[in-house]
Amino acid sequence: MADPKTIEVYESLADRWVAARSAGDKIQVDWIDRQRLGGRLLDIGCGPGWHLTGRRPPTIALDVSNAMLAMVADNAPAARPVRSLAESLPFATGSIAGALANRVYVHLPAGEVPLALAELHRVLAPDGLAFVTLFGDESGDEFRGTGPFAGRLFSGWTEPRLRDMCWGAGFEMAQLRRRRGDGRPSRFELRLRRRFTLPDTVGPSMTMLVCGLNPSIHSAEVGVGFARPGNRFWPAALQAGLVSRDRDPRHALVHHGVGMTDLAKRPTRRADELSAEEYAEGLQRVERLAGWLQPATICFVGLAGWRTAVDRKATAGPQRERIGGASVYVMPSTSGLNASSRLADLTEHLRAAAGLCGDGYRLR
């Protein structure tokens, strides 16, 4: 969630902040304009609306600060002001053609940015574009700002982690540029294009990470893993007490500490369309993800990927290997095509995987 102290600074000192800043360049808007997308343009964390100046409707200026939104009418009278958190966008799936997120995700703890980008992926139309800026910090640490606007939370990023996060969130990185600052944190400028895939739902509160082989076409279309009719993951997860809402990965993460990702991010009709190289590269990314966010356990759903990438003789159950410091459980595929595993068997596998989490996890 957005940091309350940061929101308070922008709410109480908005006039002083605007007086100390300038509108700056509009390269991010110009880049999106050149793509001739059409449709709605969304400015997330719009501040006083500078980047929407001169833009024709439909444009949306979104900010959590009422004080900032009150200035939008003077700078971008054609924009529709909307008050909302950047990580919870009140728009329909696929309804936004292009988005700006200029130094807004910098105010989230780093571990919460993947879920915010998953939300951005949801609202963007197919092949939608986004211009995102984040701060660089080789330590990757969070810090509090000083000076006249002291107390604001900032998160820093390393380039490798940034690339992993954007790929996991379902974006192709059309360009990454790093601008060095004089006495200030460097800035990453990202030009992103929404890919047809399923974004990760992961975060710092994650106790178990569920890792599928890759999204089905249907899952990528609806934005929910294991969503194809006949797939038994969600019925098994409900029966196991792992989750309390059907086909709601965000709720599973926020309320039960169950995150979701895939070994490979390319959607296919069948998992056997993937190559061994895709599995191996995906396992390396998942290992880095687990090393960063530190779930207690990773449950790999589907033996094929694990056997291809790690141990061709592996059987279902706990594994000797640890991935990113996490214990590993491998279970059979929950696909309806896997007739050899009953719903009761899959439920018991998920219970056993949760059991590896130790005291950090309690079935509901």
The token pair that represents 150 in the structure block: 């002291």
**Mind listing the pLDDT tens digit for each residue in 216-265?**
999 999 999 999 989 999 999 999 999 999 999 999 999 999 999 999 99
21 pLDDT band, cuts 50/70/90, is confident
Q: CATH 3.40.470.10: which residues of the chain?
A: 208-357
Look at residue 183 in the predicted model and tell me its pLDDT.
Answer: 65
Q: What share of the chain is helix, strand, coil (3-state, %, to 5)?
A: 35, 25, 40
Q: Which residues are 135's β-sheet partners? A: 156, 187
Q: CATH 3.40.50.150: which residues of the chain?
A: 4-194
Cβ within 8 Å of residue 13, ≥6 positions away: 148, 149
Cβ within 8 Å of residue 53, ≥6 positions away: 23, 26, 75, 76
The token pair that represents 290 in the structure block: 């687990």
Does pLDDT of 284 surpass 90?
Answer: yes
Pairing of strands 186-194, 59-63: unpaired
Look at residue 6 in the predicted model and tell me its pLDDT.
Answer: 95
Mean pLDDT value of segment 126-155: 88
Pairing of strands 317-318, 297-301: unpaired
Look at residue 172 in the predicted model and tell me its pLDDT.
Answer: 98
Question: What is the value of pTM for the model shown?
Answer: 0.95
Backbone CA torsion sign across 247, 250, 253, 258:
positive
CA torsion angle 259 228 282 297 (round to 10): 30
Give the SS3 label for residue 47.
coil
29 pLDDT band, cuts 50/70/90, is confident
**Mind listing the pLDDT tens digit for each residue in 85-103?**
999 999 999 999 999 999 9
327 pLDDT band, cuts 50/70/90, is very high
Choices 3.30.70.20, 3.30.2310.20, 3.40.50.720, 3.40.470.10: CATH for 208-357: 3.40.470.10
Does pLDDT of 364 surpass 70?
Answer: no
Superfamily assignment of 4-194 in CATH?
Vaccinia Virus protein VP39 (3.40.50.150)
121 pLDDT band, cuts 50/70/90, is very high
The token pair that represents 327 in the structure block: 């214990």
Extended strands (E) in 235-337:
258-262, 297-301, 317-318, 327-331
Extended strands (E) in 239-357:
258-262, 297-301, 317-318, 327-331
DSSP class of 60: E
Q: Which residues are 318's β-sheet partners? A: 329
Does pLDDT of 360 surpass 60?
Answer: no
**Mind listing the pLDDT tens digit for each residue in 68-79?**
999 999 999 999
Structural contact between residues 192 and 166, judged by C-beta atoms closer than 8 angstroms: yes
Look at residue 51 in the predicted model and tell me its pLDDT.
Answer: 92
Q: Select the more confidently predicted residue: 361 or 359.
A: 359
31 pLDDT band, cuts 50/70/90, is confident
Residue 115 sits at the vertex; the CA angle it makes with 109 and 121, to the nearest 5 degrees, is 130
